[in-house]
Amino acid sequence: MKRTADSHLFAVAHVALAGAVVMLLSGCAASQTMISKRNLDVQTKMSETIFLDPVGPDKKVIFVEVRNTSDKDNFDIAAPIKDAVTKRGYRITQNPDEAHYRLQANVLSVAKTDPTAAQQALAGGYGGPLMSALGGAAAGAAIGGLAGGSYATAGIGAGAGALVLGGAEMVTGALVKDVLFMVVTDVQVVEKAAEGVIVRQDNQQDLKQGIGGSQQQTSSEVTKYKKYRTRVVSTANKANLDYEEAAPALTQGLTRSLAGLF
């Protein structure tokens, strides 16, 4: 009985020491995050480069259509983009047939995420899949599993995981958070072809039919427009960043990127 009691005391003391160490390290990590992420870092990247042929002033007429299918209905970039394009010498028209260029953009997602998800969203290109943000549950499970594997006594592993993770979250979660917001936008630019140029457009779509089934649809047409597609991924990163602070900077970066195509 004495040996069993000593084992329990040793286990509890070891867990308490481990918790103290993790909390200390977490506190250091929190301080480092607050220092290194004290300034807002905004980045805007384009999956593919689009080159448009230069045109004279009479052809600098553009139709702009921006849609937002994300869950942030207050993320508005249509007005800033139109203003930026106008400042570059273009005239905005409401008639797409009159325009020499058409700029069409769809904001797919505005959400908190992590660098890995941002990289994968960019690598996917236009129409590619979006990767959701990674959760942190695995960390707590790993800590609990480590404690449980070290001591065979029932309940100590789970208790250790809760204690250590709770201490870490108390420092890093409540006080300092490394937050990254990401905006994913698919972009299509349509350019009117020069006189005498014939553009053939071939389309192919795979239509899903229930579970495991699909139907392929193809079409071809002759048109006078050339189309270019790309994806723009904008990120804003800062310690304890909230959406209200991130949105203006993300809007500015995305506007600069899209207007820079012309």
Whether 223 shows a pLDDT value over 90: the answer reads: no
Dump pLDDT digits (tens) for 89-147: 999 999 999 999 999 999 999 999 988 899 999 999 998 888 654 433 333 433 344 34
In the predicted structure, residue 214 carries a pLDDT above the cut 50: yes
pLDDT of residue 142: 37
Tell whether the model's pLDDT for residue 226 goes beyond 70. Answer: yes
Confidence of residue 37 (pLDDT cuts 50, 70, 90): low
Higher pLDDT, 163 or 112: 112
The whole-chain average pLDDT of the chain stands at: 77
Q: Is 140 exposed, middle or buried (0-12, 13-18, 19+ CB in 10 A)?
A: middle
CA–CA distance, 167 with 214 (Å, rounded to integer)? 51
Bigger pLDDT: 90 vs 240: 90
pTM for this entry: 0.68
Separation between Cα atoms, residue 232 and residue 45, nearest integer Å: 6
Q: How confident is the model at residue 186 (pLDDT cuts 50, 70, 90)?
A: very high
**SS3 state at 213:** strand
